[in-house]
Structure 1
Amino acid sequence: METSQRIARSQPLATTAMHGRVDAMKARGEEVIDFSIAISHFQAPESVLQAVRDGLKQPSLPYTTVGGDAGIRARLAAKVSSENGIAASASEIIVTNGAKQALYQALYVMADPGDAVIIFKPHWPAYVTTCKLLGLEPVLVDLPATVSAEFLDSLPPAKILIVNNPHNPTGGVLRADEIERIAAWLKRTGTRAIVDESYEKLIFEGVHTSLAARPDWQQIGIVSIYSASQSYAMMGWRAGFAVAPSNIVTAMETLQGPITAAAPMLIQLALASAFESGEPMAMLHEYRQRRDMVLDMVHGLPWMTMRCPASGPYLWGDVSALTMDTKQFAEELLNQYAVALMPGDALGAPGFIRIGYISDDIATLRRGVEAIIRYGNARYRAR
């Protein structure tokens, strides 16, 4: 049976495709170390687990309105008001089945086919893939070390700017002055913004500032996306939400209604409890130790440079001294050493590799990094 032309023109998301390959290998009984995505070895916070237990004791878990239960939306509005400085009401919150759904729906209702969307690279692959699915035109621009007014003024006209802060994969965190410049540019050009703040809780150095933390965020047209997946070790829960002007939320509900309707009430309870559970300090402490261990292991390699990320569950390595074809790097590493990682080509940056360092135990992390080093050293000597 033939498929539609539009899906025939589409490609699977690179990150999920690699993870799917790893799962298939494991299902066949093969031992694989998976650094291709970040899956925390931590459990969700106890308050989240308790919220689920309590939810299961309720007489029923009903359908809610598409955008989410009114009480849950109010709790999430209180979260972004107190923690992010975003003055939002419950009507400006929509609960979604993870951040990807929020991204898809925001792009769908904010732009029409053919509209340009600026995406900084390296980038999370879903930004580009989602734009292409919707017939939008992704415009890839190298993310500079500092977002200056001159850089912003050099950007081409676009309907939407996607901002990822904290940034996947580099781990960069935008400074408050950079956020102000972006807001001024948005106002000056009339460009709207989608801001992915999924890693807001995973910051080692610096301070996270929300672009929408300003009184005129609705007039500028800013949609902010949040996820419990990484911040609270809830990858499989598919729990996320977006903050947007009320007319955008209404439009996103119109789209979400016939697709998934509301997120499950049990997940909504878990989501609100996660964001009320405080800072994940124990998790951050261990992540920092893991990050520093890997940085120590790769320090001084002649073929890789890896900077210390200020945030996030990933390490971003420059292997351009060895190869610009990181797809081949990733394939050979998987085939020869049973270690999976994400090639930079998939994130718009050939010559780089992304390592998710938060899965499994420390011994497995060390063993996987040692395999990467052995593989790279062998290729470097054979040049």
Structure 2
Amino acid sequence: MTLAKRVSALTPSTTLAITAKANEMKAEGIDVIGLGAGEPDFNTPDHIIEAAVRSMKEGKTKYTATGGLPALKKAIIDKFIRDQGIDYKPSEIIVTNGAKHALYTLFQVILDEEDEVIIPIPYWVSYPEQVKLAGGKSVFITGTEENQFKITPEQLKEAITPKTRAFIINSPSNPTGMIYSKEELRALGEICLENGIIIVSDEIYEKLVYDQHQHVSIAQISPLLKEQTIIINGVSKSHSMTGWRIGYAAGNEKIIKAMTDLASHSTSNPTTPSQYGSIAAYNGTQEPVEEMRKAFEERLNIIYPKLISIPGFSCVKPQGAFYLFVNAKEAAEITGYSSVDAFAKGLLEEANVAVIPGSGFGAADYIRLSYATSLANFENALTRITSFITRKMAE
């Protein structure tokens, strides 16, 4: 049976492949430590759970408006005013089934065949695939380790062609944890304005920033940049609600309407109880958000010095999110592996530690380690990795 070309061309998720292999080994009784998690290891705060349960008991289990409950849109608008000082109308907001669905729907409505989207490397694994599914073409530019994996205005200018439709920026970044400053964002934004390029600003990790760093949305820099930007966000990472599947997009009214029209034929509406939980997430206490942020910051500051002491490892200290993006090229070489992908496979099969190869993020010399796990678990993993490398070097 023949499949559509659009899905036949998709690249399988590296993250899911490693996770599947690790789970298979666990099922066999092997003690595998997984450092691939893309979600907080905290439960959703109680007041959010209670709000969702209450909504169901009150019979709020039916369809809602495609673009989301008016009360949730208001909560999102209030959040933007509170956090970024920018204001949106309800018609400029669409609530979606997770931030991933917001991105997917956005690309479907803004891209025609062969339209180009500029994507910085390293990138989140789904960006190129979603562009591909919309018939677009990804144009990659590499943020170097020396520049904290961030791209420069000169690189952006060089990548623009008459077919350029959009530019993706992810700050704080998955997988690097790097954050663009206001000045850096302004410089990139001005280039997009000059060329009429839509800015897709993925801000899903905005609440997870450390060591006095601050998240700035490119949309808050100027009214013109706000009009040119579609913000993608959600409650998954900030409120530990990954399974609730609530994200949203905010921006140009025409684009948001097109996204809403498309969603009306694909998902109908986001899950109703999850929407009520998300209202509580934004309108209720934010103390659990800060407690989780502090816990991640504490873990980072404990494990980072230990990580960079491992032979063959180097790592720019992340400023946000909950990942360490480690240059493991030397580690692969000194342990006799032909590539970092092979090194990562060896770690899983011989040291029982699951990490995500950087090839899935467009950066083949790296591995991504998530510290969204207990401190004891991560430190145990570092011990195993160190022993693995030391043993391989001695062979």
> TM-score if structure 1 supplies the norm length?
0.93
| Cross-structure match for 2:335 | none
Two-structure CA RMSD over aligned residues (Å) = 1.9
| Cross-structure match for 1:315 | 324
Letter in 2 for 1:299: I
Q: How many Å separate the matches in 2 of 1:309 and 1:373?
A: 21
Alignment of 1:229 with 2:243, yes or no, is no
Q: What secondary structure sits across from 1:322 in the alignment?
A: helix
**Quick one: percent identity of the two aligned structures?**
28
Q: How many Å separate the matches in 2 of 1:39 and 1:79?
A: 22
Aligned pairs (5 A) from 1:237-256: 237-256=244-263
| Cross-structure match for 1:56 | 56
Residue 150 of structure 1 and its aligned partner are, at CA, apart by: 3.1
Q: How many Å separate the matches in 2 of 1:274 and 1:131?
A: 31
Kept in 1, the 8 Å contact 2:92–2:256? The answer is: yes
**Alignment coverage as a number of residue pairs:** 380
Aligned pairs (5 A) from 1:165-314: 165-205=171-211, 206-213=213-220, 214-217=222-225, 219-220=227-228, 222-276=229-283, 277-278=285-286, 280-314=289-323
Letter in 2 for 1:215: P
| Alignment equivalent of 2:348, drawn from 322, 334, 339 | 334
Q: How many Å separate the matches in 2 of 1:16 and 1:273?
A: 31
Q: What secondary structure sits across from 2:218 in the alignment?
A: coil
Alignment of 1:26 with 2:19, yes or no, is no
Q: What secondary structure sits across from 1:310 in the alignment?
A: coil
Kept in 2, the 8 Å contact 1:303–1:380? The answer is: no
Q: How many Å separate the matches in 2 of 1:271 and 1:24?
A: 34
Q: How many Å separate the matches in 2 of 1:198 and 1:29?
A: 35
Residue 39 of structure 1 and its aligned partner are, at CA, apart by: 3.0
Unaligned runs of 5+ in 2: 333-337
Q: How many Å separate the matches in 2 of 1:118 and 1:71?
A: 35
Residue 51 of structure 1 and its aligned partner are, at CA, apart by: 1.2
Unaligned runs of 5+ in 1: none
Q: 1:119 to 1:365 in 2, by over 3 A?
A: same
Kept in 2, the 8 Å contact 1:198–1:225? The answer is: yes
Residue 11 of structure 1 and its aligned partner are, at CA, apart by: 2.4
Kept in 2, the 8 Å contact 1:147–1:178? The answer is: no
Q: How many Å separate the matches in 2 of 1:100 and 1:17?
A: 19
Residue 167 of structure 1 and its aligned partner are, at CA, apart by: 1.0
Q: How many Å separate the matches in 2 of 1:80 and 1:18?
A: 36
Q: 1:24 to 1:91 in 2, by over 3 A?
A: farther
| Cross-structure match for 2:159 | 155
Letter in 1 for 2:257: T
Q: What secondary structure sits across from 2:237 in the alignment?
A: helix
| Alignment equivalent of 2:377, drawn from 341, 364, 373 | 364
Letter in 1 for 2:53: R
Of 349-358 and 297-306, more deviation after overlay is shown by: 297-306
1:291-322 per-residue CA deviation (whole Å, 9 max, x = no partner) reads: 12221222333311122211111011111223
| Cross-structure match for 1:94 | 94
Letter in 2 for 1:364: N
Aligned pairs (5 A) from 1:335-350: 335-350=349-364
| Cross-structure match for 2:67 | 67
Q: How many Å separate the matches in 2 of 1:232 and 1:109?
A: 29
